[in-house]
Chain A
Amino acid sequence: EPQASELPEYIKIVEVGPRDGLQNEKVIVPTDTKIELINQLSKTGLPAIEVTSFVSSKWVPQMADHKEVMRGIERHPGVQYPVLTPNLQGFHSAIAAGATEVSVFGAASESFSKMNINCSIEESLEKFEEVTKSARNMNIPVRGYVSCALGCPYEGNVVPEKVAEVSKRLYSMGCYEISLGDTIGVGTPGSMKKMLEAVKKEIPLSALAVHCHDTYGQALANILTAIQMGVAVVDSSVAGLGGCPYAKGATGNVATEDVIYMLNGLGINTGVNLYAVMEAGNFICTALNKKTNSKVAQASFSTGTI
């Protein structure tokens, strides 16, 4: 039985709502709304907010306004504003627009890599290496994501050793942090534990993050398992923005509010003001004309706490 004292004292929350969240919402959000959302999130104490993606608007129309968003947001001191850069071209575009941190997205599944970005894992890693090389020259930190860490919509089961292998490649090429993504939310505390045990043999725990989807309701239990093992960085999305593109009508990202509620209850410091996040969540849900996916927000608005 893990002791309470093994939990990290501080957990860094990486807010992915404006990018990962909005990218998976059907409604195209106006640029002003995106900027306002990010500005509100900047005031909550969140240390990192994923702003946008410098990918071709042909592929991801939601992120077509990446330059305007990057240039339009307030940049609060002490807050990181990473952006996705799938290749060197995107990287240069991001830097020109003022980005000071970027992310690259790998996968632990060949089929997923092929279907998503039309190349093998190896080919994708070569592209990313171009980005990390340029980034190193310019002192730009790079975060690496590994998708399908606990299962793939095409291959099904994914072996932990494969996740460890891809993670190690990303880390060795210079990514300062590796975010392990349960892309379709099929993971459970059992598979999370096995995967992390394999990965932490190759990468220091302090360089690991978990990015859990709540499609099967397992996200908080999986996050708890990860933090019991010493992981101290957790990705989440305000109001649980972002459905699952692989299961129609199902949920995707775990809600930042629900994660913070849990961490507060565990006495773990995050620096984040839960009420402020709920208000930002309320703002974006109103703008999107949708119900929040956060149970904490739902319960709080119902009981009049907000």
Chain B
Amino acid sequence: LINMLSETGLQVIEATSFVSPKWVPQMADHTEVMQGINKLPGISYPVLTPNLKGFQAAVAAGAKEVSIFGAASELFTKKNINCSIGESLERFEEVMKAAREGSIPVRGYVSCVLGCPYEGKISAAKVAEVSKKMYSMGCYEISLGDTIGVGTPGSMREMLAAVMKEVPVGALAVHCHDTYGQALANILVALQMGVSVVDASVAGLGGCPYAQGASGNVATEDLVYMLNGLGIHTGVDLQKLMDTGTFICNALNRRTNSKVSQASCRL
């Protein structure tokens, strides 16, 4: 899958997660995957590293970029990694230090930026606060995640306006979930406000763990279709991307979540 994605023109492909297989069995083969993929020049293959141990394992396996996952919700942090936001940031500081010493760029994610499955509404000020901390720690980019997809263009605008006061827009990315069908509209608003980095998942892989049967990530194909229509350059070949989506859906024996892909298969 990753090798096929590397041929599409995508410049960044999140390869795996160096987290304990006890928590995330799907990513247990992180070392093999990291060592097995073709690493094309000009393409970045970041990996998740929740703590120093994971970071060290990642670097040993050849990783050249890592990501850390913060959250704008205390309850979410507690339920997810069993500590407070403050404590999680302290753990990340260890990773930041080691990364700085190894000249490894670090991307920071902030979850629950437009709503939390436990707390409900999340204040834009809180998102701005956590983003600022992660940026100040040394993350080169902050990806703002609408983790449960409840955001709308209204809440996206409000949240970005607050965050942009603390972090330059050039260092911001949006990670929208399509659980309520709002992803592309939310991404459009972010683009209108100057954001120029967007996270997406081929074939819309990845459901929502908080809403059984509902969708999760926005499909890369649908995003690229929209950006093409807007005349915005991405460097991505949509046909190759769709072919990659077809490959992984066949392998997983599932239907694609990409509407562009669905529409393009005519009989």
Compute the total of residue contacts between A and B using a CB distance below 8 Å.
124
Comparing A49-57, A114-122, A155-163, A216-224, the segment that makes contact with chain B is A216-224
Give Cα A252–Cα B45 distance, bound, in whole angstroms.
37
Give Cα A302–Cα B215 distance, bound, in whole angstroms.
11
A258 x B181 contact (CB < 8 A): yes
* Neighbouring B residues of A267 by C-beta, 8 Å: 154
A255 x B181 contact (CB < 8 A): yes
Give Cα A265–Cα B226 distance, bound, in whole angstroms.
22
B152 x A250 contact (CB < 8 A): no
Mask of A198-232 contacts with B, CB within 8 angstroms, 1/0: 00000000000000001111101101110000000
> Given contacts A217-B222, A250-B259, is CB(A296)–CB(B155) below 8 Å?
no
A261 CB–B CB distance under 8 Å: yes
* Neighbouring A residues of B185 by C-beta, 8 Å: 220-221, 223-224, 262
A217 x B259 contact (CB < 8 A): yes
For the complex formed, measure the closest distance between the CB of B218 and the CB atoms of chain A, giving whole angstroms: 9
- Which residues of B (110-154) have their CB < 8 Å from a CB of A? 149, 151-154
B259 x A189 contact (CB < 8 A): no
Nearest chain-B residue to A218 (Cβ)?
B226
Mask of A74-98 contacts with B, CB within 8 angstroms, 1/0: 0000000000000000000000000
> Given contacts A265-B155, A296-B180, is CB(A216)–CB(B259) below 8 Å?
yes
For the complex formed, measure the closest distance between the CB of A254 and the CB atoms of chain B, giving whole angstroms: 9
Give Cα A249–Cα B258 distance, bound, in whole angstroms.
13
For the complex formed, measure the closest distance between the CB of B203 and the CB atoms of chain A, giving whole angstroms: 12
* Neighbouring A residues of B214 by C-beta, 8 Å: 295, 298-299, 302-303
* Neighbouring A residues of B194 by C-beta, 8 Å: 1
Q: How many residues does chain A have at the interface if contact means C-beta atoms less than 8 Å apart?
A: 40
* Neighbouring A residues of B179 by C-beta, 8 Å: 295, 299
B180 x A247 contact (CB < 8 A): no
* Neighbouring A residues of B230 by C-beta, 8 Å: 188-190
- For B179, B181, B194, B260, the residue with the greatest tally of chain A CB atoms inside 10 Å of its CB is B181
* Neighbouring A residues of B157 by C-beta, 8 Å: 4
B153 x A265 contact (CB < 8 A): yes
A220 x B182 contact (CB < 8 A): yes
Mask of B201-223 contacts with A, CB within 8 angstroms, 1/0: 00000001011111100010010
B181 x A295 contact (CB < 8 A): yes
- Which residues of B (209-267) have their CB < 8 Å from a CB of A? 210-215, 219, 222, 225-226, 228-231, 258-260, 262-267
* Neighbouring A residues of B188 by C-beta, 8 Å: 189, 221, 224-225
B178 CB–A CB distance under 8 Å: yes
A148 CB–B CB distance under 8 Å: no
Nearest chain-B residue to A264 (Cβ)?
B152
Mask of A267-306 contacts with B, CB within 8 angstroms, 1/0: 1000000000000000000000000001110110011000
Kindly list 7 other residue pairs between chains A and B, CB separation below 8 angstroms, not including A258-B182, A262-B153, A299-B214: A217-B222, A217-B258, A247-B266, A250-B262, A251-B263, A266-B152, A295-B214
Residues of A within 8 A of B (CB): 1-2, 4, 185, 187-191, 214-218, 220-221, 223-225, 244, 247-251, 255, 258, 261-262, 264-267, 294-296, 298-299, 302-303
